[in-house]
Amino acid sequence: MAVMTNVAEGPPSSSGAPNNPTISGQNITKSWGTHAVLTNCSFQVSGGVTGLLGSNGAGKTTLFGMILGLHEPNSGELRVFGLDPRTAGPKIRARIGYSPEHHLLPPDLRAHDLVRHIGEIHGLSRRDATTRASDALWQVGLGEERFRALGTMSTGQRQRVKLAQALVHDPALILLDEPTDGLDPLQREKMLSLIRRIGTEFGIDVVLSSHLLEEVEQICDSVVILANGTVAASGGLGELRGDTYGVVAVLDRDVELVGQLLSQAGWSTNIAGNRLSIAINQNLDQGLDALRDAIAEVGAPLRSLQPERRSLEDIFLGSAS
């Protein structure tokens, strides 16, 4: 007879509280033979959607493997839900949904059968797994296609099936390995908005690995950047990008003229093509007002006006170098 536990007896669900992180790593080192993949990596992952960013071969998939308890770090301490994956692997994995990078799945298996099976493997009863498999496939937009064989599905549909199987048992945390790999721009947008929904509306913490800066920037609350085998930066996106440090305007013409006017008023300006930016110290409104007034005085056609902050690309390039 199967041993059943109530969900309340399982590992703690994700907290999202910064002082009680879902995943924390302290000085994690991992090598495959003589090849060092990760060296002294320390990081924390809290609630919401977290991006694990790094170029190909940076160690993202290896880190996922360690979170799942499938590989052991050579040294350092890793905690998932406060537990050690080396000793509490099955307990941790019971509350994690995992979507691997590859698109290979049994071609003759129907999407619903696969998702239901994975639900049962994660401890759901047959009846619950059947119901939740249908629900999960509806959630990812494959409700009408759920009885199709996986071999007949497109890459985008298989990506969504992988997401559904990661979601079916209502995990506390979902690990998505390159979830937009192989998708066209439209499918990518849909997938990203779905992941964002999972991390916000569904209340499930998500860690997604990617080497695409813009998609991490688009949907993630926080980020862990891996570069050269180390954690180059980690934390909330807002925190990493820092305070607004300027205001930037894009003009159709008269950029130089507006720049001169602002320089005469004592602003530090920078012109690049039709893009004019001014540095601000503390007061964003003052900078916005000054730029707006100068543009109005010259009568330059304005395309956009917005605060300027560090982009994730700036952070990534800065930390990687």
Partner 1 sequence: MSDAQILDRGYRRYEGPRGQVWAAMRTLIRFSFERALGMRRGFWAKVIPALIIVIAFLPAVVFIGIASLLPDAFAEAVPTYGDYYGFIVSALVLYTAFLAPELLCNDRRTRLLGLYLASPLNRLTYLASKALTAVLALSIITIGPLLMLLLAYSLQGQGPGNVVDYLTLLGRIFLAGAAITAIYTSLAFAVASFTDRMAVAAASIIMALLGSQVLTSVLVNGADWPVWMRLFSLVDLPLDIVERLYFGSNFGEPSISNWAYLVAIVAWSGVLSALVIRRYQRLDVTR
CB atoms inside a 10 Å sphere around CB 26: 15
Burial 258-285 (b: 16+ CB within 10 A, else e): bbebbeeeebebeeeeeebbbebeeebe
E strand or H helix at 225: strand 222-227
211, two tokens: 């080497």
Q: Which of residues 199-238 bind partner 1 (CB under 8 A)?
A: 201-203
For the chain, what is the largest distance between any 2 Cα atoms, rounded to a whole number of angstroms? 82
117 binds partner 1 per the rule CB under 8 A: yes
Query: C-beta of 165: minimal distance to partner 1 in Å?
Result: 7
Single out the segment in contact with partner 1 by CB under 8 A; choices: 72-80, 117-125, 225-233, 245-253: 117-125
Q: Does the footprint of partner 1 cover residue 138 (CB under 8 A)?
A: yes
Please select the residue that binds partner 1; options are 35, 104, 282, 321, rule is CB under 8 A: 104
With respect to partner 1, which residue has the nearer C-beta, 65 or 73? 65
Minimum CB separation of residue 147 from partner 1 in Å reads: 12
CB of 82 to partner 1, least distance (A): 18
CB of residue 3 to partner 1, shortest distance in Å: 5
> If phi over 0 gives left and psi between -120 and 50 gives alpha, with beta otherwise, what is residue 198?
alpha
Shortest spacing between CB 63 and partner 1, in angstroms: 10
- With CB under 8 A as the rule, give the number of residues binding partner 1: 52
When asked if residue 124 is in the footprint of partner 1 (CB under 8 A), the reply is yes
Binds partner 1 by CB under 8 A, chosen from 83, 105, 212, 271: 105
Contact (CB, 8 A) for 100 and 83: no
Interface with partner 1 in residues 48-67 (CB under 8 A): 61-62, 64-65
**Whose Cβ is closer to partner 1: residue 76's or residue 141's?**
141
Within 8 A by CB and 6+ apart from 235, the residues are: 222, 223
Fill in the DSSP letter of residue 312.
H
On the 0-12 / 13-18 / 19+ scale of CB atoms within 10 A, 303 is exposed
Q: Which stretch binds partner 1 (CB under 8 A): 75-83, 96-104, 211-219, 244-252?
A: 96-104
* Residues 229, 30: Cα–Cα separation, whole Å: 9
Of 16, 40, 74, 91, which lies in the binding site for partner 1, with binding defined by CB under 8 A? 91
What is the rounded distance in angstroms from the CA atom of residue 199 to the CA atom of residue 304?
31
Helix (H) or strand (E) holding 269: strand 269-272
Residue 86 contacts residue 133 (beta carbons within 8 Å): no
Classified as helix, coil or strand, 247 is strand
Measured CA to CA, the distance from residue 112 to residue 47 in angstroms comes to 29
Q: How far is the CB of 62 from partner 1 (least distance, A)?
A: 8
Task: List the beta strands (DSSP E) in 87-159.
Answer: 96-99
- Closer CB to partner 1, 14 or 319, in the complex: 14
Among 33, 34, 56, 108, binds partner 1 (CB under 8 A): 108
Q: Tell whether residue 132 is a contact of partner 1 (CB under 8 A).
A: yes
Instruction: Considering only the stretches 45-53, 105-113, 215-223, 229-237, report the one whose residues sit in contact with partner 1 under the rule CB under 8 A.
Output: 105-113
Which parts of this chain interact with partner 1 (CB under 8 A)?
A: 2-7, 10, 61-62, 64-65, 68-71, 89-91, 93-94, 96, 98, 100-102, 104-108, 113, 117-118, 120-125, 128, 132, 135, 138-139, 165, 169-170, 175, 177, 201-203
